[in-house]
Amino acid sequence: MPNIKSAKKRVLVTKVKNERNKAAKTELKTILKKARAEGAAPEAKKSAAIALDKAAGKGFIHKNKAARIKSRLAKNANA
């Protein structure tokens, strides 16, 4: 445990941010799983694309990864 006041605060802030990021990534994975499911509605794929854009904008995932996943979703939807 740190002794310096600012270091103590960093530990607490990091813990809160880590939990928030973990929840957001888990939610994104759930949305993507629903979009990839067999017979998924087009609305599910659209909401997945929106969620990917938001995640990339907030820095949860890289913007190129978001684009790659969106491309694969579209490719599977058109197949």
Q: What is the pLDDT of residue 76?
A: 87
What kind of architecture, by CATH, is found in domain 5-78? Up-down Bundle (1.20)
Q: For the whole model, what pTM was predicted?
A: 0.80
**Predicted local distance difference test score (pLDDT) of residue 28:** 95
Residue 40 burial class via C-beta count within 10 angstroms: exposed 0-12, middle 13-18, buried 19 and up: middle
* Segments making up each domain of the chain, as ranges: 5-78
Over the chain (79 residues), the average pLDDT of each successive run of 10 is 93 96 94 89 91 94 96 89
Helix %, strand %, coil % of the chain (to 5): 80, 0, 20
For the chain, where are the alpha helices, taking DSSP H only?
5-36, 42-58, 63-78
